Amino acid sequence: MSPSPKPLLATLQGQKQPIPPVWLMRQAGRYLPEYRALRAEKGGFLALVNDSEASAEVTLQPIRRFGMDGAILFSDILVVPMALGQDLWFETGEGPRLAPVVQARAALEGLEAAPGALEPVYETVRRVVAALPSGTTFLGFAGSPWTVATYMIAGQGSREQSEARRLAYRDPVLMRDLIDRIETCTIDYLLGQIAAGVEAVQLFDSWSGSLSPVQFEQWVIAPTARIIAALKAKAPQVPVIGFPKGAGGKLPAYARETGVDAVGVDETVDPAWAHVSLPAGLPVQGNLDPLALIAGGVVLDEAVDRILAAFTDRPHVFNLGHGIQQDTPIAHVEQLLARVRGER
Ligand code: CP3
């Protein structure tokens, strides 16, 4: 297969670019006034997600404003539990809520993917494809089963994912059943996004960091490997980025054992260590501290330069180590892009 002319897609295919392509996790969101205006008009975040025309518009906002190399589908990882039949809502100023919480067999048995539940997302994808600039790579995504399960089990974000970790020890059979249901839905969901037109996908495993190495093998590496094998069987040309946030010293095992085409690295990882510890030639994505982006100035320039220097000898996608925060100045995003692109 000849490499894509799109810099981000080519990088994910293993072709190092003279200037690393850039996109930012959560690049469509509250730090943008045009996002806040559209969310207010639609009446809230979930209303936005369920409206394909608005979601397509939000996906394109950071592309228009900054010329990012990647557009990430605007949706949320929690639409998978919603499709499985759990009620999802957002408590203003707090975050997601899911009901019923899955702590016992009875709550689990009802969870089956409703046909067509994710159709609005595929419609968003088709609308974005029709409007995307030719050099921009379109990324789909899903949460990894472990991270999605932590929300399904606690009914909300939780400290140290304690409820999910306790359940995994107390009843590993129930846990495996839950993970399997999420996994099956996630495979269908990602294949649906691919059929609708995304060119690469990212698996967000935001809470993989709280697991012990043995539990990490069981609940992060194994399901991720099964998802990637299923995707590769149907869509071998589509690169998969795995982002096991907080994995730290478990990153090399994750990179070797899951079959990911690229690995996302969070801001707590030393990029020089990541470069020597990850398989040679494997594309990496990351890993600027979102708070260095907020700080701006010399701090930001130096942090960008350190990351660029660490990854000069492998395919590198410049990104943050986690999502952009809502109080990030837009001028600092412009500074970051100029620095990566060698314009300042
Ligand atoms: O990256 C993007 O621009 C694409 C869209 C995207 C969103 N969420 C939109 C969103 C993506 C890729 C996600 C992933 C996601 N969602 C994760 C994994 C990455 C991470 O951040 O760790 C997780 C854990 C979620 C679940 C979720 N969604 C939480 C915990 C929250 C509340 C916290 C918060 O930041 O408000 C959300 C809401 C959410 N998802 C917002 C956005 C833009 C903010 C909603 C708003 O406009 O008020």
Spatial CA neighbour of 66 closest among 17, 5, 7, 23 = 23
Is the distance from the beta carbon of residue 244 to the nearest atom of ligand 1 less than 6 Å?
Answer: no
Token duo for residue 93? 């100023």
Residue nearest to atom 17 of ligand 1 (CA): 77
pLDDT at position 3:
86
Q: Is the dihedral of CA 266, 77, 241, 230 positive or negative?
A: positive
Looking from the CA of residue 78, the nearest atom of ligand 1 is 26
**CB of 267 closer than 8 Å to CB of 25:** no
CB atoms within 10 A of CB 103: 19
Domain extent listing, the chain: 7-268
In degrees and rounded to multiples of 5, residue 241 shows phi and psi of: -95, 125
Q: Is 77 in the pocket of ligand 1 (CB under 6 A)?
A: yes
Q: Is 194 strand, coil or helix?
A: helix
Out of 48, 51, 76, mutate this one to test ligand 1's pocket (max ligand atoms within 8 Å of CB): namely 76
The answer to whether 170 and 196 are in contact (CB under 8 A) is no
Q: How far is the C-alpha of 112 from the C-alpha of 206, rounded, in Å?
A: 24
Query: Tokens for 180?
Result: 């399997």
Q: What's phi and psi for 201, nearest 5 deg?
A: -135, 150
Chain centroid, CA 10 distance in Å: 19
Contacts of residues 261-270 at CB distance under 8 Å and 24 or more positions apart, as own/partner, are 261/12, 261/13, 261/14, 261/200, 262/11, 262/12, 262/315, 262/317, 264/202, 264/319, 265/321, 266/321, 266/322, 267/292, 267/320, 267/321, 267/322, 268/321, 269/321, 270/310
Phi, psi of 89 (to 5 degrees): -145, 165
At 49 the pLDDT is 95
Distance CA 36, CA 332 (A): 19
Total number of residues shown for the chain: 344
Residue 331 CA, ligand 1 centroid: distance in Å: 22
Find out whether the beta carbon of 156 lies less than 6 Å from any atom of ligand 1. Answer: no
Mutating to test ligand 1, I would choose from 22, 23, 26 the residue with most ligand atoms within 8 A of its C-beta, which is 26
- ω into 319 cis (within 30 of 0): no
- Parallel, antiparallel, or unpaired for β 95-99 and 87-91? antiparallel
Q: How far is the CA of 26 from the centre of ligand 1 (A)?
A: 7
Contact 79, 150 (CB under 8 A): no
- Ligand 1 within 6 A of CB of 74: yes
Which residue's CA lies nearest to atom 28 of ligand 1?
76
Residue 16 CB less than 6 A away from ligand 1: no
Catalytic residues: 26, 30, 39, 76, 151
Note the pTM of the prediction, 2 decimals: 0.97
User: Which CATH class, in words, describes the domain spanning 7-268?
Assistant: alpha beta
Is residue 301 within 8 A of residue 270, CB to CB? The reply is: no
Neighbour order of strands in the sheet with 200-205: 70-72, 137-143, 200-205, 240-244, 262-264, 284-288, 316-320
> What is the structure's pLDDT at 1?
73
Render each residue's pLDDT in the chain as its tens digit; 344 residues: 788 999 999 999 999 999 999 999 999 999 999 999 999 999 999 999 999 999 999 999 999 999 999 999 999 999 999 999 999 999 988 999 999 999 999 999 989 999 899 999 999 999 999 999 999 999 999 999 999 999 999 999 999 999 999 999 999 999 999 999 999 999 999 999 999 999 999 999 999 999 999 999 999 999 999 999 999 999 999 999 999 999 999 999 999 999 999 999 999 999 999 999 999 999 999 999 999 999 999 999 999 999 999 999 999 999 999 999 999 999 999 999 999 999 98
Position 224 scores a pLDDT of 98
Instruction: Give the torsion through C-alpha atoms of 216, 219, 222, 223, to 10 deg.
Output: -140
Element containing residue 193 per DSSP (H, E):
helix 172-196
Pairing of strands 70-72, 137-143: parallel
The CA 114 to ligand 1 mean position distance, Å, reads 23
Distance from Cα 222 to the centre of ligand 1, integer Å:
25
